[in-house]
Amino acid sequence: MNLSGKKIVVGISGGIAAYKCAELVRRLKDQQCEVKVVMTDSAKHFITPLTMQAVSGEPVSDSLLDPSAEAAMGHIEFAKWADLILIAPATSNIIAKMATGIADDLLTTLILATPAKVAIAPAMNQQMFAHPATQRNLKTLASDGMAIWGPGQGEQACGDIGKGRMLEPNELVEFCTSALKPSVQPLLGKVVTITAGPTREALDPVRFISNHSSGKMGYGLAEAAKKLGATVNLISGPVKINAPNGINLSHVNSAVEMRDEALRLATESDIFIGCAAVADYRAADIAEQKIKKQGDEMTLTLVKNPDIIAEVASLTRNRPYTVGFAAETQNVEQYALGKLKNKKLDMICANDVSQAGLGFNSDNNALTLFWHDEQISLPTSGKKELALTVVKAIASKLD
């Protein structure tokens, strides 16, 4: 039994798919896990607390302010008790409340109060699901680290056909199982070196050339590699975010400094990931004094920076498995594949940065991973969640 001994709160909000929750709880109980059910007031219009009590074998909780229940087990204790809180069905209303941190009933309060993993199984009319407000809220939940399971496609209770059906109980049980399975650490004993953030190429003592990289994607990769058991070196350009605990952080400014640090660490690494947005060019001469305004035009002479990742990938001794990123605004696949080949990489993460809200300096991202003989598309999600998927994909390719 994959879920044996696990503790799951099933939170039911008010949608027609709530009728599937009796089956969901029974299937979870088949796996010998403990299940407690929490219902919103509107959920009770779709399935009765008595039904849920019968299938879960536990009293159903629905109120924050119920003195008799508080005397038994403080409701908020559910937040600490649970290994997983699954909101199924998750209506557009509860998704919006969760995205803004509203806690006006027991279920939404538990969601804010829990250290456990929170997952939602969205279910609503296809038009409501496609609405920009719902999509915006889902992105927020994903970047807050919540898991979004579904929805499925098909005929809906209202007669519409489209995306918005709650996943079937057996599919949700599968998701619970993989979310709660003991974490494996495929990178235990491995060393991973990652570049992140922008580089700054000085023009004079007060000016520089740079870009909008925030470091979030690269720092997410560092956190993910650490989580999967690796010793992590993070070579970071200037960013405003904090590094994850327990990693070896080197601060650099320019591409040349980043290259020196990368080559120092690469040969003792099993994996090298170049996520930094490295300036391709730097000033031919850095002025010693602040450059003064001169006329209507000014010409800067730039020289090419070293290609850090190409140098790492060309190492002949102790070469790490080398992964690049390609931030592109057009012909994404073609340019990414060109870089995979020309830089002699093992894998490249193609990043379409033409879409608002993705890529540089955003919380979310979407990537296509290319190897020489395979590709995988990773849809939009929070950068931390995406980073974990990327690092797992890399780990799966090591001997």
Binding site, by residue number, is 274-276, 280, 290, 306-309, 325, 339, 343
Choose between 166 and 255: whose C-beta lies nearer to ligand PMT. 255
Query: What x-and-dash track marks residues 325-354 binding ligand PMT by CB under 6 A?
Result: xxx-----------x-----------x-x-
Which residues, numbered 177-196, are part of the site for ligand PMT (CB under 6 A)?
195
176 is known as an active-site residue: no
Report which residue type is found at 219: Y
User: What is the closest distance, in whole angstroms, from the C-beta atom of residue 340 to ligand PMT in the complex?
Assistant: 10
Q: Does 381 bind ligand PMT (CB under 6 A)?
A: no
Query: What x-and-dash track marks residues 299-328 binding ligand PMT by CB under 6 A?
Result: ------x-xxx--------------xxxx-
Residues tagged in the binding site annotation for CTP = 274-276, 280, 290, 306-309, 325, 339, 343
Q: Does 360 bind ligand PMT (CB under 6 A)?
A: yes
Stretch that binds ligand PMT, among 29-37, 134-142, 272-280, 282-290 (CB under 6 A): 272-280
Residues near ligand PMT (CB under 6 A), total? 30
Closest among 201, 204, 241, 203 to 221, alpha carbons compared? 241
Two structure tokens written together for 1: 């039994």
Long-range contact set of residues 56-63: C-beta below 8 Å, sequence gap at least 24: 56/10, 56/25, 56/29, 57/29, 61/36, 61/37, 61/106, 62/38, 62/106, 63/105, 63/106
**Kindly report the CA angle at 318 between 313 and 321, in degrees rounded to 5?**
45
Closest among 250, 234, 238 to 193, alpha carbons compared? 234
Say which of 21, 158, 176, 349 is annotated catalytic.
Answer: 158
Which residues, numbered 240-259, are part of the site for ligand PMT (CB under 6 A)?
255
User: What is the closest distance, in whole angstroms, from the C-beta atom of residue 350 to ligand PMT in the complex?
Assistant: 8
Contact pick of 214, 231, 233, 381 for ligand PMT (by CB under 6 A): 214
User: What is the closest distance, in whole angstroms, from the C-beta atom of residue 287 to ligand PMT in the complex?
Assistant: 22
Q: Does 233 bind ligand PMT (CB under 6 A)?
A: no
Q: Does 40 bind ligand PMT (CB under 6 A)?
A: no
Residue 357 Rama label (left phi>0; alpha psi -120 to 50; beta): left
First and final C-alpha spacing in the chain = 30
Q: Which residues are catalytic?
A: 158
Positions that interact with ligand PMT (CB under 6 A): 195, 197, 213-218, 255, 274-278, 280, 305, 307-309, 324-327, 339, 351, 353, 359-361, 383
